[in-house]
Chain A
Amino acid sequence: DVKVTQSSRYLVKRTGEKVFLECVQDMDHENMFWYRQDPGLGLRLIYFSYDVKMKEKGDIPEGYSVSREKKERFSLILESASTNQTSMYLCASTWGGLGETQYFGPGTRLLVL
C-alpha cells in the first residue's frame, strides 16, 4: 500500500514564524502536491512538483514556497506565518499523469496565533 506521511498532525505557531511542513511518500511517485482545505472553500492547490527540484505554482501560492530535494520528500514552507494561513494542509502524491489517482497523507492542522 502507498503510504504518505506528514510530519505533524497538529501544529500551533505564532504570527511571523517560519513554518515547515514535511511530506514523505514511499512509492517512488514522481508527482507530489500540497493543498489547503478550508470550510466552504474545499481543497485548493498551493504547489505541486513533478520531479526532484521541479515545482509549479498551483491556484494559491502566495505566502508559500516549496522544496523538493529528494523524490520522496516535498516540503511546504510558510516564510512568515499569518493568521489567514490557519488551515488544514494536505499532501498527496501520484504516479503517471498529474490527473491520476492521488494518495493523501493524514493532514496537518495548523493554527497560527
Chain B
Amino acid sequence: SQQGEEDPQALSIQEGENATMNCSYKTSINNLQWYRQNSGRGLVHLILIRSNEREKHSGRLRVTLDTSKKSSSLLITASRAADTASYFCATDGGGAQKLVFGQGTRLTINP
C-alpha cells in the first residue's frame, strides 16, 4: 500500500530556478523522510523531519511538514544540473515500523 504520494510526477526547470515537490500521506506518522535517486543507482537519504517539526533546512534543501494536512514539501533552491534525479518521500506510517515510499518525482534541470 502506498503511504506517500508525490506530486508532480515529473518536473523540468531551468538551472538556477527553485524546484518544489509535494508529498501527501494517509495515516499518522512519527517522521517523514526525503530521498534522492540518481538514474540506475540506490537511494540517498536527504533529510528527516519529525512529526513535531514544521520546517527543516539542509544546505539548499528546505522541507516543510503539515501534519494537519498530511503533507510535506521539498524545496530545492538555486537548482543545478547535478540535482537531476528522482526524489522520493517515505513515511513510517506511525506504528508501521517500516518505511513506505511514494512513487517519486522525476526532476530534470536543464542547463
Known: A104-B42, A104-B43, A105-B42. A99 touches B103 (CB 8 A): no
- Are A99 and B2 within 8 A (Cβ)? no
Asked if A112 is at the interface of the complex by the 8 Å CB criterion, the answer is: no
Residue-by-residue, is A43-75 near B (CB-CB < 8 Å gives 1, otherwise 0)? Answer: 101001000000000110000000000000000
Residue tally, chain B, CB below 8 Å to A:
26
Bound-complex Cα distance A59 to B3 (A): 13
Q: A102 to chain B: which residues have CB within 8 Å?
A: 43, 45, 90, 99
Bound-complex Cα distance A45 to B93 (A): 14
Asked if A110 is at the interface of the complex by the 8 Å CB criterion, the answer is: no
Bound-complex Cα distance A11 to B97 (A): 31
Bound-complex Cα distance A59 to B101 (A): 12
- Are B42 and A99 within 8 A (Cβ)? no
Asked if B41 is at the interface of the complex by the 8 Å CB criterion, the answer is: yes
